[in-house]
Amino acid sequence: MECKKTQLMLGFLLPEICKMSQGNKEIDMEFKILMLALGLVLVLEGIGPLLFPNKWRRYLKEVSEQNQDVLRRLGGALVTAGLVLLVIFS
């Protein structure tokens, strides 16, 4: 029953997870946590353009004008920080 509601809410997104989670509550819980994390990321990413659209636009312009190496280092630092948090809290 829960799987059908999840499929209706997500549409085409990750239908295989729903099949696997039938009868396996652990996978179903992991899927819910994944969706909660994705939802939190979307909320946090949307706060800037929602509350401060002009500042957000200027920030994106500044970031887009950065050197490629600077962007790579920034991306690498963010990925590393994310992985460290995942390892610590998993």
Domain spans in the chain, listed from the N-terminal domain onward: 1-51, 52-90
Which residue from 47, 75, 48, 72 is spatially nearest to 59, judged by alpha carbons?
48
Predicted confidence at residue 12, as pLDDT, reads: 53
Report the C-alpha dihedral over residues 61, 84, 80, 26, rounded to 10 degrees: -80
Predicted confidence at residue 71, as pLDDT, reads: 94
Predicted confidence at residue 64, as pLDDT, reads: 92
Predicted confidence at residue 39, as pLDDT, reads: 93
| Alpha carbons 88 and 90: distance in angstroms, whole number | 6
Over its length of 90 residues, how does the chain's per-residue pLDDT go in tens digits?
455 555 555 555 555 555 555 566 777 888 888 899 999 999 999 999 999 999 999 999 999 999 999 999 999 999 999 999 988 987
Predicted confidence at residue 75, as pLDDT, reads: 95
3-class secondary-structure state, position 1: coil
Contact residues for 74 (Cβ-Cβ < 8 A; gap 6+): 66
